[in-house]
Amino acid sequence: MARPQAARKSQAPPVTVVLPEAALYQALSGILPLPIEHDGGKQFQGIVTLDSIDSLSIGSGRIRISGQLSGRNMTMNANVGNQDIQVKLGSLVLPVICDVDLRFNSAQQLLLLTPRFQRANPGSNDSDEALLALLNSLSKEYEVPLHNVMPLSGQIGSSKVQLRMLPLDIRAEDGAVTLRMRPVTKKHP
């Protein structure tokens, strides 16, 4: 009996997973409120949280999220005329738009994310500007390592099988995040 062509190849063909905007919106909404870790250093202190997502769109290598952030116990530290001052801002709420640029480095198996925040509504007050300044300090490239993505595990008969997915490409375009991955199987006795 002839073996199927796919079984004769040393590498399995790639698998494409498409995550549409609605699915990503639902997944992110399900984990809210989401604390946002920040390194405001000496300039900012407090707890920043993504409270809600109003809309989400995907295209041109970017995920755009419109929502509401809040800050609690916010303080801003500054040096004015060689004097250190601390301004207590208290609690803040700020509607924002966050554009997250998405790139994939296949050689290093890294997903690279760069968030950029902007005010959703024109008009400002000093407290909102302080929170927006803190958010803009988060506008740097973040590396998400993908070489240790959790494998799918199962059992066939008495053999345990692990299916690991090796990322080949990740794109944000046309209303979806598309992941191309190559399955790599491993049999355990």
Task: Tell me which residue has tokens 């919106």.
Answer: 25
Angstrom distance (rounded) from CA 135 to CA 88:
17
Q: Is the model's pLDDT at 33 over the cut of 90?
A: yes
Residues 163 and 181: beta-carbon distance below 8 Å: no
Model pTM above 0.85: no
The residue ranges of every structural domain in the chain are 20-145
User: What digits encode the pLDDT tens for the residues 137-151?
Assistant: 778 898 999 987 777
- In angstroms, the first-to-last Cα distance of the chain is 26
Q: Is the model's pLDDT at 187 over the cut of 80?
A: no
Burial string for 68-77 (b: 16+ CB within 10 Å, else e) reads: bbbbeebbbe
Q: Is the model's pLDDT at 19 over the cut of 70?
A: yes
Q: Which bin fits 73, alpha (ψ -120 to 50), beta or left (φ > 0)?
A: left
